[in-house]
Structure 1
């Protein structure tokens, strides 16, 4: 049992001032008989906690889909080891290589394991509704549905077709049951509708009960919930930023609709609407629930901009992990040449004229100092102030910055797009320039590609942005073309076993 207690603390380190009793007494779903686990509210809570633990695993959002594999696939890292042929093949998105194929299969399989975890809850929860109190039925079911949709969406983003050319064939299984039977591969339309359906139901359920609709992030972090049906004794609902909360559902919907707009431009209106709902969120004092990170946050070494976190992973040993991955001896780095005006590679992302105040640049990058490493550039996003205990635990999955970029991207007019983008630039310290009068939509596209890469570096979004825009070469002005894309790179093959099942 000690092993599982450690893992639970890892997931919920942000709750260091609460009792956490319900969190600690957890047996993994696959080791706990169904007829015992799903007879009490505590059992359902434990099962959901198990799903969150699985999200943290290395082949899911604890590595591969955040700062590792998909970032190599976007060429955001360099192969710093001349002996590591696996990384060389991963950088080239060579899915014919057995090692690369094995890594991708691991992502696919583990995303579906998380889905199986929440499906075990969803299969039982309605029949056991009588065991719940104080909104826990709606909370647990809503979170489980949203996690199922979130994971299926990333299966689609990685293993699905180019979003502007989806075809009519069956693509991927949308799994809603725990069974050994083969699930049918759905068409793109049916698969994406299943994602939206789960998110719609989650939105309805969580809107009824989620304390994030009332309380501030600070109130919930201190478990200071003194209104309504939620009591200070119920520490399970504290720190909603590390759970699939109501606004995380809206943010996921904004992301999904923006992806769907590559095929159907009418979806942009929904993307903008849900992004705006997250931006407009306020607590009971009328204070915005989330705010864009500023230079003050950077100065405080809050490099992940925790006030922006709509949903984040809570990682117990993030400080050590970040140092091992991104530090002086870490493998996640860029090989670069020192030139007079800064870093050669980074000139493409952060032109010299824009660096003076850009908070994504200042204090975030530096050359390594160890012998033999001085041409490597390291990134400091996750290397933070060790005194800020709660902040160093969080690896963001959804941030407010994305909502402003979605609002900009989905705006129907040049003026509307410039309004949201100008505010975003002002908060990030970016010199704002209006979109070109000659072809403002192309100029917007090029700026958005750059912003997604700069803003979400080491957060797993660059590759998906390139795929969504069908980037073949990076926009003009990037003087060093370090990335080139194609459908062969963007569509990761499903595991062979899955292909054999569905003959696709």
Structure 2
């Protein structure tokens, strides 16, 4: 089993029997006591939390390219008989199947939280079983996962960030119990997220190998730079820079609560952009044309944190491929398409690596997206990853939070040059409004099928698409952004 666990950690290739073991669901006190007697036991539970995140109702589907992308109307519904899908696209959340989809997402986010809560409830008392910096690594990652999943629960099921009240929004769960957890206010919930991230940052700062070594070094099995294989492949863990990137994302969401959060978001985004290893080389870089030409479509060099999914090729083919249902019905007209011509105007997309070879006709009017259908033969760490946090987002956050037109354009130009986007200055008569419209479009173009478009629309309370798009294509009232929580009480355990 030790050999199998090492294989999972390194390559995320696991058998059914091993997955059942690692998808940890403590059945009682005695089971937990056995798991938490050793460093290996804590690691196994943490690995189980990452595995659970790959589930279809969260980051292996609905919170990545599935339902959350339908909410943004990034996909069409070619099957008119699928009434529930049509209702989801139309923002009708009264359908029972739609409710069940949302409930499954809600419950599984909290199951991941329960997995890491088991760790966090026991780890301080068992600190003596850890060697090296493993106590800090395991606890720091667990805290980050707890914050990450709570924050996505807030983005999905919480109020519009521009219209909060003093009422309770969601429970911030820190214990494994079947007792009822009362919802916290929006402000207290946000404080809890940031408190977990502050502690995680302090824990990981001096021990995470990603601060010392390059991604290439940490991904190499030929000449490992760390003695413990568990500490390799830091891109597929909640590493130190993932904490900083998540803080940037959270602070941006909280700008309506306090405008000072804009400076915090910019600061943490810049810390990730400027990150270097011990040799002075940047830890992450923006994806460029050579990455696209190599068919590394998710731009793995940008991945700050990702999930390693051994069967991603099968999932991608069944979801996006010729037999998959994720597509656009985009009428071909002359030099391009209908909606996509607005998202990627023909005059702007000639060199844009988010457009080139990323879309292909599937049928006479159906267009399929190729981001996750990647070239065979590339290293697994390039093609078998689902990105959770990417460097592009840090550039967009920096652009959006810059206090002057000059500063914002400086960051945006650097981003555009790498992506092959023609740069145009922000309109001098209303540069902040023009920046807003450009950033909304960039989030959709950059993170298509990565679950970020709907949350961008929600953050801005978008009612119609900005000028230059197909304005009537997306129309939303505030109610569209109020996703219903489960009708029934759920168990905040991992059973």
Give TM class, smaller chain.
over 0.9
- CA positional deviation for 1:81: 1.1
Query: Of the candidates 426, 437, 450, which is equivalent to residue 441 of structure 2?
Result: 450
Quote the offset at 1:53 in angstroms: 0.6
Partner SS for 1:446 = helix
Runs of at least 4 residues off by over 3 Å: 7-12, 22-27, 223-227
Q: 1:12 to 1:496 in 2, by over 3 A?
A: farther
Q: Return closer, same or farther for 1:14/1:47 CA change in 2, 3 Å cut-off.
A: closer
Q: Residue 339 of structure 1 corresponds to which residue in structure 2?
A: 333
Alpha-carbon distance in 2 for matches of 1:110, 1:257: 25
1:61 is the counterpart of 2:59: yes
Partners of 1:208 and 1:9 lie apart in 2 by 27
Shift of 1:223: 4.5
Quote the offset at 1:280 in angstroms: 0.5
* Count of matched residue positions in the alignment of Structure 1 and Structure 2: 486
Indicate if the aligned counterparts of 2:194 and 2:247 stay in contact, CA closer than 8 A.
yes
Counterpart residue number, 2:74: 76
Moved more, 476-485 or 89-98: 476-485
Spell out, residue by residue over 1:72-113, the C-alpha distance to the aligned partner (whole angstroms, 9 max, x if none).
010000001121112101111211111101100110000000
Partner of 2:369: 379
Which of the numbers 297, 300, 306 marks the counterpart of 2:291?
A: 297
Structure 2, unaligned runs of 5 or more: none
Give TM-score scaled by structure 1 length: 0.93
Residue matched to 2:243: 249
Counterpart position of 1:166:
164
Map residues 201-350 of structure 1 onto 2, 5 A cutoff: 201-223=199-221, 230-231=226-227, 234-350=228-344
1:313 is displaced (CA, Å) by 0.9
Give the Å deviation of 1:452.
0.1
Equivalent-residue separation in structure 1 for 2:306 and 2:82 (angstroms): 31
Map of 1:26-45 to 2, 5 A cutoff?
A: 26=22, 28-30=24-26, 33-45=31-43
Q: Whole-Å Cα distance in 1 between the matches of residues 95 and 9 of structure 2?
A: 34
1:19 counterpart residue number: none
Q: What is the deviation of 1:224? A: 6.8
In 1, distance between residues paired with 2:262 and 2:305?
Answer: 22
CA deviation profile, 1:309-353 (whole Å, cap 9, x unmatched) = 000111111112111111122100000111012011201100011
Task: Give yes or no for contact 2:10–2:229 (8 Å, CA) kept in 1.
Answer: no
SS of corresponding position for 2:394: helix
1:359 aligns with 2:344: no
The RMSD of aligned alpha carbons is: 2.3
Are the equivalent residues in 1 in contact too, given 2:10–2:230 (CA < 8 A)?
A: no
Identify which range, 312-321 or 40-49, moves more after superposition.
Answer: 312-321
Which one of the candidate residues 385, 401, 405 is aligned to 1:410?
A: 401
Residues 1:490 and 2:477 are matched in the alignment? no
Quickly say closer, same or farther: Cα 1:225–1:192, change in 2 above 3 A.
Answer: farther
Aligned to 1:366, the other structure's residue is in SS state strand
Cα 1:429–1:147, aligned 2, differ >3 Å: closer, same or farther? same
Deviations 1:210-249 (A, max 9, x none): 000000001100147776xx41xx1111100000000000
> Offset at 1:262?
2.8
How far does the alpha carbon of each residue in 1:463-490 deviate from its partner, in whole angstroms, 9 at most, with x for none? Answer: 0000000100000111353211222110
Q: CA deviation at 1:392?
A: 1.4
- Which residue pairs with 2:133 in the alignment? 135
Shift of 1:60: 1.1
Report if aligned partners of 1:15, 1:238 keep a CA contact under 8 Å in 2: no
In the alignment, which of 413, 421, 426 is matched to residue 412 of structure 2? 421
User: 8 Å contact 1:215–1:225 — kept in the other structure?
Assistant: no
Query: How has the CA–CA distance of structure 1 residues 184 and 388 changed in structure 2, closer, same or farther, with 3 Å as cutoff?
Result: same
With the length of structure 2 as denominator, give the TM-score of the two structures: 0.94
In 2: Cα distance, 1:435 partner to 1:173 partner: 41
Does the 8 Å CA contact 1:125/1:141 hold for their aligned counterparts? yes
